Amino acid sequence: MNARIVDVYINLSAGVEVSPDTGRPAQLITRVKRTERILFRWHLYADAALTPYALPAGLTFEFGADDNFTAGHADLVTSLNARFNSADWSGTDGWDLSAGRICCLAVFGTPELATAMGAAAEKKLYMAIYATPAGEEPFLLFSLPLMVDGVTVEPGGSAQANEVDSYITVTALAAMLKVPAGKRLVVSDSGEITVEAIS
């Protein structure tokens, strides 16, 4: 998988990111870049003592990130249940619902986020995960602030992409095009090529 891994430790009872060593609130907000693919690995705790928050089997999940508090609108970044893949975080300390460890892939390179950010160097969003038990309504696991950094260089955005890769002289071009005797090639300032009689 081509994604940067970001581990996030959350005390669900306080609704804050915490240090995995002390259980105290973290001093920094999670940061990502606008064009990144992020594999979030969430470590969910029931309290400041870092008691794992056991999730029941059979849940479906949805991740979103946005800054619009209007109900019913489309989020800037969304990951539905298919992107919550236990195979993306394997091993003994990997995905484990009973230990409160889940992960999902989130793609921040959306046109919606690019439009919302415009030329801003950063944008504060709120990320949230909803869990839905089979046959029941979704419930909010958490909602936390998230900073998205803008990017100044993007694939295909190079000025060199539009430059000519090779050059040819007008004389060589005329020879290749077999300009008839008594005629010549004329290249205008706009690059238009015409043939005219030599006077």
- Calculate the average pLDDT of the chain: 87
Q: What local confidence, expressed as pLDDT, does residue 142 receive?
A: 94
Kindly report the pTM of this predicted structure.
0.75
Pairwise CA distance, residues 194 & 185, whole Å: 6
- Start-end ranges of CATH 2.60.40 in the chain? 4-149
- CATH assignment of 4-149, among 2.60.120, 3.40.720, 2.60.40, 2.40.160: 2.60.40
pLDDT of the chain along its 199 residues, tens only? 799 999 999 999 988 988 888 888 887 789 999 999 999 999 999 998 999 999 999 999 999 999 998 888 899 999 999 999 999 999 889 999 999 999 999 999 999 999 999 999 999 999 999 999 999 999 999 999 999 999 988 777 655 544 444 555 656 655 666 777 777 777 777 777 777 888 7
